[in-house]
Amino acid sequence: MKRYQTQIHRCFRCGYCKFPTDYSALNCPSYNRFRFDTYSTGGRLWLTYAWLKGDIPWSEHLAEILYACTTCKNCVEQCPMKFAPEIVDWIIEARSDMVEQGKIPLRVKRFLESVYNYGNPLKKTNKERLPWIKSLKKYEKGTEYLLYLGCLASYDEGTKDMVTSLVKMLDKAGISYGVMGDDEQCCGNEVYAMGEMDLFKELAGKNIDKFRQLGVKSVITICPHGYNIMKNQYQGMGYKFEVLHYSQALAKIADDMKPKKTGNGVKITYHDPCYLGRHNKLYETPRKALKGLELVEMPRNRKDAFCCGGGSGNFITDYLAGGNDSPARVRVREAAATGAGVLAVACPGCLLMLKEAVKTEDLDEKLQVMDIASVMGR
């Protein structure tokens, strides 16, 4: 029996999970998007308990409510109860039960099938890896860092500046790194969050086998999701290695650099990715990479940052899309309201979600979404 089954009734449905620390806005992305109590964490836990008890049957709608959670952990941060740290694990366990029973919504099914068939959720073959990836150095024994690109940086053109700027910074700093190329598999973070544990184990196993074969001792990930799963799950799977998020590498480089000056009075605001911030408490490190620039914080920052809506596979399944209150649109409006001209991010998922939202909100002229490596490399 999974732990959540004996614990999930403990949610009182108080609703603290809906807010940031200062109650200034709604900070649960799915609750803010849909506004029915069902889409809050409390709602999800109560519905899941009802499903477990047989009070309500499984339905596509129930599953969508569960999968609309981006696993951003705002609820974990705000819940006043002692079980707070476990909430997202409970949601993942409930999803896992749905997966085991073959009861998952269509978009999640397609996501998982794509990872199963293609090794990534984007339905891309190895041949379709972005052209600039092929020019990167391959990891060989003795290379200090394996640069783990992840699915979005490998296949989505929107991440070009992010990847090319990062490798330039690494080259400039004389850091020894290499990539896995066609041997790289999806890290499995989203697959894990979606509750497909068998597929996750397969993906992680393949990656770990490759790391072992190559003698990898240290990994730099581009994506916070990859960083999270390698740091918190891979380590218990029989092969120990150091994991850095690229912002940590950049922070080290920034320490040795002269502080930059803000060009043309452009202010920068920084969006904390959930899997870097609330999941792994890396709040100041990415900001170090922006040292010397005029940083203006959004009202919701660090542990109170508002999720872009892309977590837990939602950058593909997109259950929170549509409408004025989709999280990415809310977030870019908040960024623009600071007066910043640049919205800096440290996650390819956030980068793509927020870039799209800037277009939808018609903020192209005012706000540019850039990752921190591109900002540093300007």
List of residues contacting another protein (CB under 8 A): 6, 9-16, 18-19, 22-25, 34-38, 43, 46-47, 49-50, 55-57, 59, 61-62, 65, 80-83, 323
Beta carbon nearer to another protein, 25 or 175: 25
Beta carbon nearer to another protein, 38 or 164: 38
Nearest approach in angstroms of CB 90 to another protein is 12
Residues 6+ apart with CB under 8 A from 97: 2, 195
Nearest approach in angstroms of CB 360 to another protein is 17
DSSP 72: -
Beta carbon nearer to another protein, 26 or 194: 26
Nearest approach in angstroms of CB 19 to another protein is 6
Pairing status of strand 342-345 against strand 145-148: unpaired
Nearest approach in angstroms of CB 56 to another protein is 5
Name the H helices within the chain.
Answer: 3-7, 29-34, 41-53, 60-67, 74-78, 87-100, 106-118, 131-134, 151-155, 160-172, 189-193, 197-214, 224-232, 246-256, 284-288, 314-317, 327-337, 348-360, 372-377
Beta carbon nearer to another protein, 176 or 324: 324
Q: How many helices (H) and strands (E) does the chain have?
A: 19, 7
Nearest approach in angstroms of CB 61 to another protein is 5
Apex CA 89: angle with CA 87 and CA 94, to 5°?
100
Nearest approach in angstroms of CB 209 to another protein is 41
Helix (H, G, I), strand (E, B) or coil at 344: strand
Q: How many residues does the chain have?
A: 378
Amino acid, res. 259: P
Question: If we measure between CA atoms, which residue out of 170, 169, 174 comes closest to residue 376?
Answer: 169
Nearest approach in angstroms of CB 320 to another protein is 12
Residues 6+ apart with CB under 8 A from 19: 25, 26, 27, 78
Quote the CA–CA distance of 218 and 109 in Å, as a whole number.
33
The DSSP element (H or E) to which 242 belongs, if any, is: strand 242-245
Beta carbon nearer to another protein, 68 or 308: 68
Beta carbon nearer to another protein, 56 or 237: 56
Quote the CA–CA distance of 268 and 374 in Å, as a whole number.
12
Give the count of beta carbons closer than 10 Å to the beta carbon of residue 24. Answer: 11
Nearest approach in angstroms of CB 215 to another protein is 47
DSSP 56: S
Nearest approach in angstroms of CB 110 to another protein is 22
| Order of all β-strands in the sheet with 177-178 | 177-178, 145-148, 218-221, 242-245
Nearest approach in angstroms of CB 302 to another protein is 17
Quote the CA–CA distance of 262 and 13 in Å, as a whole number.
46
Quote the CA–CA distance of 188 and 74 in Å, as a whole number.
22
Beta carbon nearer to another protein, 12 or 132: 12
Beta carbon nearer to another protein, 60 or 113: 60
